[in-house]
Amino acid sequence: MAEIQENKMGTEPIGKLLLKMSLPTIFSMLINSLYNVVDGIFVAKIGEKALTAVSLALPLQFLIISFSVGTGIGVNSLISRKLGEKDQEGVDSAANHGFFLGIVNYIIFFLLGIFFTKPFFKMFTSDQEVFKYGMDYTSIVLLFSFGVIMSISCEKTIQGTGNMNYPMIFQLIGAVVNLILDPILIFGMWGIPAMGVKGAAIATVLGQIMSMIYAIFIITTKDFGFHLNLKNFRFKKDTVKQIYQVGLPSIVMQSISSFLTIALNSILIAFSDTAVSVYGIYSKLQSFVFMPIFGLNQGLMPLFGYNFGAGNKKRLMDTLKIGMGIACMIMLVGTAGFWLFTDKLLLMFSATEEMLTVGIPALRIISSCFVLAGVGIISATLFQALGNGSMSLFVSLIRQLILILPLAYLGAKMFGVSAVWYAFPVSEGVAMIISLLMVAKIYKTKIKNI
């Protein structure tokens, strides 16, 4: 078995290393958040029905990301642990299976695009204009999802080795291409006809495809400490099992967000299309707050996994403390922004008076749970990195299914649309307490004696 030289994840000062590994990803995710928001701003100029249609499509887009990122997290965690154990064969096997599983994921979403898009939108609206906008946008996003799926596969594989710079560039390419093409394809410029909502979808997938092309070029021409050999690929059940021990709970955990959005949209649409649009706007805006946390996670995940694999308890716990502190600071800043600039944020999306009336209290109530959510997210990253993805899944079920949906449904029935928003801070508070109790448990059972 080939030996691996000592990795920077086991030697460099944690604070400096965490920032070095996280900042590129935080920056690129903020850029991605920006283009999601810009997408919404441009679509809102077409009309509120277009914004409603794209908001209804969000759960399916989240589902693509859930499968891609969840599988990638499993690959990432396995690679970092095998690096810590100095198992080169295990590192290579994880990287090659990551690519294979990305192809499998694309086939799933291609079939969904063909058979599921139409019945999906029929469940939510009888408005023909909303239905047409939704079909135009979602069918393109699903049928051409290979770009985002394979680019994420490359990102997570490279991140597992501790390299965060190239994944940042991959995301930047997709974001910049989308930002440039959005106004051109939506409104028509330079002889290109206006395509409306369909143009927004085409701009999105073209950006993702360009990102994928560059990512594949880089991962096949640079040395990242693993060896890709898809030509002689041999399927190994044990490698897939190890990937999905972490990845499957992550997929389910993130997919819960999609099902939550579907369920909340079905509750909100009973009040008005505006309520659905407000929740769609929130989903886009909150990414500016949550994406830096997820970017931080990309630095934390390999650090947790490597130092656990290497048996370095002190570095592992120091990483957890520093990560928690940074996450809470980010969430505090995000909460302040949502409270101080609520009306201005909504007006970016051409908000009507009705949208402001519904949206201002909604954004303020939901954002009050940001710090609570930050603690839960960092705890979940620790669980995943140590191979305990089921613990992350349990916390997510508390946050996004077991508590929030019954609270939202009953609140809507008894008190109206405003009560839906209060389900968020209540659920996050309970989930945070459970997360901290589980961190204490995993410390006693897996960390204390390493």
Other C-beta atoms lying within 10 Å of the C-beta of residue 381: 28
Q: What's the pLDDT band for 9 if we cut at 50, 70, 90?
A: low
pLDDT digits (tens, 9 = 90+) for 254-283: 777 778 888 888 899 888 888 888 888 898
> How far is it, in rounded angstroms, from Cα 440 to Cα 447?
10
Cα–Cα–Cα angle for 443, 447, 450, nearest 5°? 155
C-alpha separations of 276 from 14, 125, 132, 367, 417 in Å: 43, 12, 17, 17, 11
How many helices (H) and strands (E) would you count in the chain? Answer: 18, 0
Does 188 have pLDDT greater than 60?
yes
Instruction: Look at the pTM and tell me if it is higher than 0.85.
Output: no
Averaged pLDDT for residues 119-135 = 83
C-alpha separations of 228 from 2, 30, 84 in Å: 16, 30, 19
Q: What's the pLDDT band for 197 if we cut at 50, 70, 90?
A: confident
- The alpha-helical segments, DSSP class H, found in 269-312 are 273-285, 287-309
3-class secondary-structure state, position 225: coil
Does 116 have pLDDT greater than 60?
yes
User: Which of 92-106, 204-218, 264-278 ranks highest by mean pLDDT?
Assistant: 204-218
Nearest C-alpha neighbor of 136 from the set 202, 61, 79, 190: 202
User: Which of 228-232, 280-284, 433-437 ranks highest by mean pLDDT?
Assistant: 433-437
pLDDT of residue 353: 87
In the block, tokens 């990414």 appear at 287
User: Which of 236-240, 270-274, 331-335 ranks highest by mean pLDDT?
Assistant: 331-335
Cα 392 vs. chain centroid, distance in angstroms?
15
Nearest C-alpha neighbor of 63 from the set 106, 118, 27, 28: 106
> How far is it, in rounded angstroms, from Cα 287 to Cα 289?
5
pLDDT of residue 2: 46
pLDDT of residue 424: 92
Asked whether the beta carbons of 41 and 348 are under 8 A apart, the reply is yes
Cα 380 vs. chain centroid, distance in angstroms?
14
Return mean pLDDT, the chain.
83
Q: What's the pLDDT band for 1 if we cut at 50, 70, 90?
A: very low
